[in-house]
Structure 1
Amino acid sequence: MKKKFLLASVAVATAAAFALSGCSGGSSPEASGGKTQITFWGWAAGYDKSVDLWNKSHPDIQVKYEQIANGGAGGYDKILTAAKAGTAPCLAQVGYETLPSFLAADALQNVNEYVKDSRDQFADWVWGNVGVNGDAYGVPVDTAPMGLFYRKDLFEKAGIALPKTWDQFASAAAAVKAADPNARIMNLPSDPYLYAGFAWQNKAPWFATKGDAWGVSLDSKANSEVASYWQGLQAQGLLSSYPAFDAALYSAWSNGTVWAEVGPVWSATLIRDNAAASSGSWAVAPMPRWGSTDSVGNSGGSATAVTKDCKSPKEATEFALWMSTNADSVSNLIDAAAILPASKAGLKNKALDAPVAYFGGQPIYQLFRDESAKVATSWQWGPVMSVTASTLGDGLGKVANGSGTYQQALDAAQKATTDALKTQGFTVAK
């Protein structure tokens, strides 16, 4: 399936990404003076320091780190354009949701032989996010299990019990509105990747590989259950309707008109950095569960991917594994980028036990460490996520302004995704 997946789509799937002319940067020579030299493109905070730590202790394999724009802000286009020209860096930071699109562009190379002895250093589900059909095209760096961020002061003052299930969350939403008619428990999920986390938790996949074909299931019964839940809260006026990542939402978190956020681990820094006035008032609890099913969703995470142009894939993979597992490197990434490490060794890092002042001294990363073991394992991203996410995002925006429903958003994304796969030469399972 992999060869057909790659070859059938190379010419069409990345036409837009490769429309940029010329080469926007390339890899430096990978063998010089008896040393292996590897170029690494990325943008996350702290990556440069981890590279420095490696270079000091590995004189025969030197990594040159080059900071590029965030993937969605042009970084991915830069990498793909270089891959088209045959001058991609050896390593590149690639989000899990985007990695299948890089595979469709034939921009990565299989590194199974170099990671086979290290697979047990990461949870199996994480490896599923760095490849297709059991193959690996990079090394996981971090994950993003979801949790319930909430205004502890407001819940306690109103005497509202912390919800442990989604049924209890609905009851708490009504209680919040009753306690303060101007307040809402949460903003409606309108970002497609955040919304994916709720589907993920309910084991409602969007994509699956079936032999030589891709299956698309955004309109499945399990997905409709998630849509129906959020539609019900919205219909009762129990959610706020601010745009995702908007200053108005941040103000609502700060002034107490939105009391909670069910989001990934990195929401901790999002809330901290944009709602400073409510410092000390927030706490974190496990994500509400669907009934008695003890699973959580994931919304984010990235890999250190090995590109097709890398002439030293063994050494590149050795570095990538080190960056994700070495105690000093992981401590650096936790401190600089507030990541939750993907590796089992990283999850034991004591930096995750530190109290977080913004959250009243609660060591919140201990909770996310525990929750990471409960992430549902069946999720797989697809090769046309730019289409899927854009269409779903448009539909969720219509939910926010009252001109559409969650189910309509899913149906539109299902059709657009299926059409895009067919247009780009993929076989789509019926």
Structure 2
Amino acid sequence: MKHHSTRRAAALAAGLAIGALALAGCGAAGPTGSASSDGKPVEITFWGWAAGYDKSVELWNASHPDIQVKYQALADGGAGGYDKMLTAAKAGTAPCLAQVGYETFPSFLAAGALQDISPYVKDARGDFADWVWGNVGVGDQTFGVPVDTAPMGLFYRKDLFEKAGIAVPKTWDEFEQAAKKVVATDPNARLMNMPSDPYLYAGFAWQGQAPWFGTAGDAWKVSLDSAANVKVGDYWQKLHDENLLSTYPAFDAALYSAWAGGQVWSEVGPVWSASLIRDNAAASSGNWAVAPMPRWGGEDKVGNSGGSSTAVMKDCAHPKEATEFALWMSTDEASVTNLIDAAAILPASNAGLKNKALDAPVDYFGGQPIYTVFREEAAKVATGWQWGPVMSITAASLGDGLGRIASAGNTYAATLDAAQKATVDALKSQGFTVK
């Protein structure tokens, strides 16, 4: 994580609160983006890693001879892609466009790596839900175009539920009772694996309207140890203490084997868990189904865990054309169909959510058109969630603590306290004001 001046840090915090980001905090506005004056096509570079992006670029280039996009595939953002982007931005060699996950967007803003494209998206504001725009902008300023969202749902072994006579839980209280019934049916089985990935866990906090970050004036507020967050943590702590959850590491082959073999009966996860389960638990094909995420009491709210944007980098010489492509990629029917097929995304745009590819039955899930569930759930994502500018620190602390709950006697409460301290310390060390 790069260190930044107090002035830039304060400007970012103030901008997040009142929509008045200082120039130093967000990158200067680029050139007007007029077409090339020499008659040659405008050339736009684009760095990313998601499946299908290259095909969408090909579709664009075939139908837009005056604006040509050159796509370069990088390592996944967390595996080095973001570091390469930020290093290039610092050196003035960054591409026009970059794939940036919503959770990392504030870090790019804090690094001064992006530029404001508000004039070029003003007519497209109604094409996406307001909460989605909140992931790529500050106040009235916008620095990228949303591509997808990741509302959460309940993936479950329909065959095992039906055989045991267990109803699909609609609330978290019912989920706890179902967890007890699973153990009563098979002492070696569990309803779900303990959530230990920090970004998956964030989705549960998001649903519980338990924010981690906020702003007050020119200062950041950090609330990982708030009462709302303690409530969410205590729920999972209780299930763990009562031995109702399995404790495999996140994204581990042993967990995938347990899904396929019937030792773990469900996963509450984001839409992209569909491909994760399909690709890693082939032996249980046809036995899975999808239902809405369990609710907290009468709150009809859903969490979100993932999603990314096409961000416009600060030195892009043609921001207007770059934004035109980004909007097209997220809304054009052929492009969106390609991204659904290639990457199993849930489109962020309203037009994308109407795409017929989402209505297709999915063989792995017994022919259920599972993406229609997530289409409906997308409208119920809780609003108001905000990511912070030091998520790499926050996530590292959370991941370490969550990973030690099963083996080292750690707790969710202690993990949240440690992440609170690590996050506040990181913000202060980088010159941010914390309240």
User: Partner residue of 1:189?
Assistant: 195
Contact 1:6 1:105 (8 Å CA) reproduced? no
Query: Judging changes above 3 Å, is the alpha-carbon distance between structure 1 residues 405 and 366 closer, same or farther for their aligned structure 2 residues?
Result: same
Q: 1:37 aligns with which of 10, 34, 43?
A: 43
Residues 25-64 of structure 1 deviation map (CA, whole Å, 9 limit, x = unaligned): xxxx987643211100011111111111111111111111
Q: Is the 8 A contact 1:5 1:104 kept in 2?
A: no
Unaligned runs of 5+ in 2: 1-6, 15-34
1:334 to 2:333 alignment: no
TM-score using structure 1 length: 0.93
Give the paired residue count.
409
Asked if the contact 2:13/2:215 (under 8 Å) is kept, the reply is no
Q: Supply the distance in 2 between the matched residues of 1:113 and 1:314 (Cα, whole angstroms).
A: 9
Contact 1:30–1:311 (Cα < 8 Å) also in 2 = no
Deviations 1:254-300 (A, max 9, x none): 00000000000000000000000000000000000000100100000
Q: Aligned equivalents of 2:206 and 2:396: distance in 1?
A: 18
> Contact (CA 8 Å) 1:2, 1:132: kept in 2 or not?
no
Deviation of residue 4 (structure 1)?
A: 3.2
SS, match of residue 220 in structure 2: strand
Q: Distance in 2 between matches of 1:251 and 1:155?
A: 18
> How far apart are the structure 1 equivalents of 2:36 and 2:226?
47
Matched, 1:169 2:169: no
Contact 2:9 2:433 in 1 (8 A): no
User: Judging changes above 3 Å, is the alpha-carbon distance between structure 1 residues 401 and 133 closer, same or farther for their aligned structure 2 residues?
Assistant: farther
Can you list the C-alpha shifts for 1:237-258, whole angstroms capped at 9, x where unaligned?
Answer: 0000000000000000000000
1:174 Cα offset (Å) = 0.5
Instruction: Give 1:74's aligned residue.
Output: 80
* Equivalences for residues 43-82 of structure 1 within 5 A: 43-82=49-88
Q: 1:129 aligns with which of 131, 135, 138?
A: 135
Partner in structure 1 of residue 304 of structure 2: 298
Q: Quick check: 1:310 aligned with 2:310?
A: no
Residues 301-380 of structure 1 correspond to what in structure 2 (within 5 A)?
301-380=307-386
1:53-87 Cα offsets, whole Å, 9 max, x none, are 11111111111111111111111111111101011
Indicate yes or no: 2:399 matched with 1:399. no
| 1:379–1:32 distance in 2 versus 1, CA, 3 Å | farther
Give me the CA root mean square deviation.
Answer: 1.6
C-alpha distance in 1 between matches for 2:13 and 2:305 = 29
Larger CA deviation: 97-106 vs 396-405: 396-405
Are the aligned partners of 1:206 and 1:217 in contact in 2 as well (CA < 8 Å)? yes
Percent identical across equivalent pairs? 76
Cα separation, 2, equivalents of 1:381 and 1:58: 35
Distance 1:33 1:342, change over 3 A: same
Aligned counterpart, 2:28: none
Partner of 1:120: 126
Does 2:264 align with 1:258? yes
Partner of 2:19: none
For 1:106-156, what per-residue CA distance to the aligned partner results, in whole angstroms no more than 9, with x for missing partners? 000111111111011000000111123342110000000000000000010
* 1:258-297 superposed matches below 5 A: 258-297=264-303
8 Å Cα contact 2:13-2:217 kept in structure 1: no
SS of the residue corresponding to residue 92 of structure 1 reads strand
- AA partner of residue 318 (structure 1): E
**Structure 1 segments unaligned to the other structure (5+ residues):** 9-28
Conserved 8 A contact 1:224-1:407 = yes
Deviation at 1:7, TM superposition (A): 10
- 1:23 is matched with none
What residue identity is the alignment partner of 2:356? K
Residue 235, structure 1, aligned to residue 250, structure 2? no
CA contact (8 A) 1:325 1:345 kept: yes
What residue identity is the alignment partner of 2:180? Answer: A
* SS of the residue 2:85 aligns to: helix
| Contact 2:9–2:430 (Cα < 8 Å) also in 1 | no
- Aligned partner of 1:153: which letter? D
- Partner of 1:386, secondary structure, is helix
**Cα distance in 2 for residues equivalent to 1:354 and 1:35:** 38
Q: How is 1:380-399 mapped onto 2 (pairs within 5 angstroms)?
A: 380-399=386-405
Q: 1:100·1:131 contact (CA, 8 Å) conserved in 2? A: no
State the distance in 2 between where 1:216 and 1:66 align.
36
Structure 1 moving runs of 4+ over 3 Å: 1-8, 29-34
> SS at the partner of 2:100?
strand
Separation in 2, partners of 1:171, 1:359: 24
Q: How many angstroms apart in 2 are the aligned matches of 1:206 and 1:281?
A: 36
Q: Is the 8 A contact 2:13 2:220 kept in 1?
A: no
